[in-house]
Amino acid sequence: MTNFIKAVAIAGCVLGSHPLQADESHPVIKLWPNGLPAGSKEFTAEQVEAAKARTTSERIAYVDEPSLTLYRAPENIANGCAVIVCPGGGYNILAWPKEGLEIAEWFNSFGVTAAVLQYRVPRRDPEHPEREPLQDAQRAIRLVRSHADDWNIDPDRVGVLGFSAGGNLTVMTALHWQESTYNGVDAADELSCRPDFVIPIYAAYLGDKQDDTQLDPAIRITKETPPMFMAVTWDDKMRGLHAALLFAELKRAGVPAEVHVYSKGGHGYGIRDSANPVSTWHYRCEAWMRLSNLLNDAED
Q: Is 242 helix (H, G, I), strand (E, B) or coil?
A: helix
- Kindly state whether residue 298 falls inside one of the protein's structural domains: no
- Say if residue 70 is exposed, middle or buried (CB neighbours under 10 Å; 0-12, 13-18, 19+): buried
Q: What percent of the chain has pLDDT over 90?
A: 89
The total of structural domains in the chain comes to 1
Range of the domain at 116: 2-291
What integer pLDDT is reported at residue 248 of this predicted model? 98
Q: What is the pTM of this model?
A: 0.92
- Kindly state whether residue 68 falls inside one of the protein's structural domains: yes
Nearest CA among 183, 94, 169, 91 for reference residue 134: 169
- Kindly state whether residue 207 falls inside one of the protein's structural domains: yes
- Kindly state whether residue 297 falls inside one of the protein's structural domains: no
User: CATH number, domain at 127?
Assistant: 3.40.50.1820
- Kindly state whether residue 296 falls inside one of the protein's structural domains: no
- Kindly state whether residue 77 falls inside one of the protein's structural domains: yes
State mean pLDDT over 268-290: 97
- Kindly state whether residue 299 falls inside one of the protein's structural domains: no
* Ranges of H-type helices in 165-299: 165-175, 239-253, 281-291
- Kindly state whether residue 279 falls inside one of the protein's structural domains: yes
pLDDT tens readout for residues 69-86? 999 999 999 999 999 999
What integer pLDDT is reported at residue 68 of this predicted model? 98
